[in-house]
Amino acid sequence: MSSQVEKSVVVTSVTLLSALALVATVLFLVGALVGLVNSVAPDDGSRKQTVALDRIKPVARVSTALPKPAGEVKMTGQEVYNKVCAACHMAGVLGAPKVGDKALWQPRFAQGFDTLVNHAVTGIRAMPAKGGDPSLTETHIKDAIIYMLGETGIKVDVAEAAPAAEAAPAAPQ
């Protein structure tokens, strides 16, 4: 045999083996793909149902249960004043005594500190109960009144106000 024939046989053999290897690889991959497709569960409509339920679910729920109290928030008298009281007592809205106007505060303080606190807690004339913030405790109100009186120049004996403040938490709610 000639060398050209031998080369032709070798090239043909290598090409044939490469083609067979390529065909075997393709058949293996097709078999793996068929096995994978057969292992996927058929769609029973549950995904469509879940999507539909998500689309039509209510935006909010109505609850008739009373909310749990978050616990007492620690605030100073000045913080309570700035948060709630200043809106009216800074400008004297609807007859509220302005902070710093001793002539308006003196007659109110003459009625007694406990009376001032009681009026602030329950509301009086145009003033709503607790200044309109029901989350405030009686201690918050007392601290705010002591702060406002102090800013006005009226000295409040904190010892007089403290026993009343300590007795308030002991009362049943």
Q: Let me know if residue 21 belongs to a domain.
A: yes
Structural contact between residues 109 and 151, judged by C-beta atoms closer than 8 angstroms: no
| pLDDT over 70 percentage in the chain | 84
Q: How does pLDDT run across 19-55, given as a tens digit for each residue?
A: 999 999 999 999 988 887 777 666 677 788 888 888 8
The total number of structural domains in the chain stands at 2
Cα(60)–Cα(56) distance, integer angstroms? 12
Let me know whether 33 and 84 are in one domain: no
Distances in whole angstroms, Cα of residue 70 to Cα of each of 12, 32, 96, 136: 86, 60, 30, 12
Cα(108)–Cα(111) distance, integer angstroms? 6
Domain span at residue 10?
Answer: 1-37
Please enumerate in sequence order all residues whose Cβ is within 8 A of that of 86, keeping only pairs 6 or more positions apart, or say none. 99
- Read off the amino acid at residue 113: F
pLDDT for residue 29: 94
CATH of the domain at 122: 1.10.760.10
Q: Let me know if residue 59 belongs to a domain.
A: no
Let me know whether 20 and 102 are in one domain: no
Q: Provide the CB-side half-sphere exposure for 154 (13 A, CA).
A: 21
Taking the whole predicted model, whether its pTM rises above 0.75 is answered as no
Please enumerate in sequence order all residues whose Cβ is within 8 A of that of 116, keeping only pairs 6 or more positions apart, or say none. 108, 109, 145
